[in-house]
Structure 1
Amino acid sequence: MSKIEEKQKLVKEIEQKIKDSKLVVFTDFRGLNVDEVSELRNKLRVPGVEYKVLKNTMVRFALQNNGQEDIAEKIVGPNAILFSEEDPVGPAKTLFEFAKTHKNLEVKLGILEGQMVEANKVKELADLPSREVLVAQVLGTMQAPITGFVNVLNANITGLVRALDQIKDQKEAC
C-alpha cells in the first residue's frame, strides 16, 4: 500500500469517526507532558470514547469531505481530538475536570451531533448532569403524581378506619 493510499484510508477513518460521534472536541495539549496526556487518556478510557492526536491536514480533509469546511478552517496548532460515540456529557465533564487541574489543556471547539459549537458551549454541556441522573429526575417527576394519588386514596381509607374505630370505642364505653 502506497503512502497516498494509507493517507486516504486514514482520512476515511477520521471521516467515519466524526460521523459516528455524538461529540467531537478539539483540544490544545501544548504544555502537557507525556504522563499527563496518558493520565487524561486513562480517564477517558470508556467504551465509545477515544482521545487521539491526529495530523491537522488529515482532519481538515475529513471535515471537508463531511461538508464541514467552516470547522476545518479553525483547526490550527497542535490538536488532540476527543471522539465520543455514545454519551456526550460524560467525556466532556471528564475533559473539563482534567483541565481544572492542568491549566495547559485548552478546549478549542467541538462538534455536537454534526453542528460546530464553541468551547463555552462544550463547557455548558459538561456542566449538565449525566444521562443517568437526568433519567432518574424524569422518572421521579413522573412518579410524583402517582405517589400523591396513592396517598390521597390511602388517607380516605385511613380516615374511614379511624372513624369506625371511634364508633367501636363509643359503643364499648356505653
Structure 2
Amino acid sequence: MSEAIIAKKAQEVEEVTAKFEAAASVVFVDYRGLTVEEVTNLRKQLRDNNVEMKVIKNSILSRAAEKAGLDGLGDVFTGPTAVAFSNEDVVAPAKIMVDFAKDAKALEVKGGVVEGKVSSVEEITALAALPNREGLLSMLLSVLQAPVRNVAYAVKAVAEKEDDAA
C-alpha cells in the first residue's frame, strides 16, 4: 500500500476513535437486506434525534475500538456493519434501532457501547425499553411535584375544615 492510503486510513481510525470517545452511546447493526426506502427512513429517524449513522469498514472499526479502549467488540465487527453515534441522548440510538428492527426483520442489532462500556445485544434491547430523555425528565418532575401537591391538598383540607367549624 502506498503511504497516502496508509495515512488516509490512519486518519479514518483517528476520526472514528474520537467519535467513540465523544459518544454517549453507540449501536452496531447489520443492515443487509434493507431496501433503499427502509435505509432512508431509518436515517431520517436517526437524524431527527441527532444520531449519526455511518457504514464503516470493520478493520477501521476494530482499530478505532482498540485505540479507544473498548475491548470485547471483536465478534461484532463481522459482516456489513453500520454504526449509530449519539453524543447527547444515551437511549435514542438503541430505541430507534430496536424499534426499527421489529418492523424491518433484515436489520439486526449486533451490540453497542453505552457511556464507554461495551454492551451486549440484550443490554441494548433493555436500554431501548427505557423512556427517552424527555420522558425520564417528566417522570422525575412528577415525582418531585407529588409531595408539594400532597401538602397543598392537606393545607386546603385543614382550611376547609376550619371554615366549616366556624
Output the TM-score relative to the length of structure 2: 0.92
Deviation string 1:118-174 (CA, Å, 9 cap, x unpaired) is 11110111111111111111111111111111111111111111122xxxxxxxxxx
Contact 2:31-2:82 within 8 A present in 1 as well: yes
Runs of 4+ aligned residues of structure 1 deviating over 4 Å after TM superposition are none
* Structural mapping, 1:88-127, within 5 Å: 88-127=90-129
2:51 and 2:92 in contact (8 A); partners too = no
Work out whether residues 28 and 108 of structure 1, in 8 Å CA contact, stay in contact via their aligned partners in 2. yes
Residue 47 of structure 1, CA deviation:
5.7
Larger Rg: 1
- Residues 1:114 and 1:7: Cα distance change in structure 2 (over 3 Å): same
The aligned amino acid for 1:9 is Q
2:26, 2:93 within 8 Å by CA — same for their partners in 1? Answer: no
- Contact 1:64–1:72 at 8 Å: present in 2 too? no
**Alignment correspondent of 1:38:** 40
Q: Distance in 2 between matches of 1:114 and 1:10?
A: 20
Q: Give the Cα–Cα distance (whole angstroms) in 2 for the partners of residues 125 and 153 of structure 1.
A: 41
Contact 2:43 2:53 in 1 (8 A): yes
Q: Partner residue of 1:169?
A: none
Distance 1:13 1:73 in 2: 22
Which amino acid letter does the alignment assign opposite residue 158 of structure 1?
Answer: E
2:22 to 11, 20, 28: 20
Cα distance in 2, alignment partners of residues 138 and 4 from structure 1? 50
Could you list the runs of 5+ residues in structure 1 that have no partner in the other structure? 165-174
Count, aligned residues = 164
CA contact (8 A) 2:26 2:112 kept: yes
Residue identity matched to 1:36: E
Q: Contact 2:58/2:77 (CA < 8 Å) preserved in 1? A: yes
Q: Distance in 1 between matches of 2:76 and 2:132?
A: 29
Distance 1:41 1:61 in 2: 25
Unmatched runs of 5 consecutive residues or more in structure 2: none
Q: Give the CA deviation at 1:72.
A: 3.5
Choose from 136, 140, 143 the match for 1:141.
143
The structure 2 residue matched to 1:77, chosen from 76, 79, 91, is 79
User: 1:7 aligned to 2:9?
Assistant: yes
Q: Which residue of 2 aligns with 1:157?
A: 159
Q: CA deviation at 1:73?
A: 5.0
TM-score, length basis structure 1: 0.88
Q: Is the 8 A contact 2:71 2:118 kept in 1?
A: no
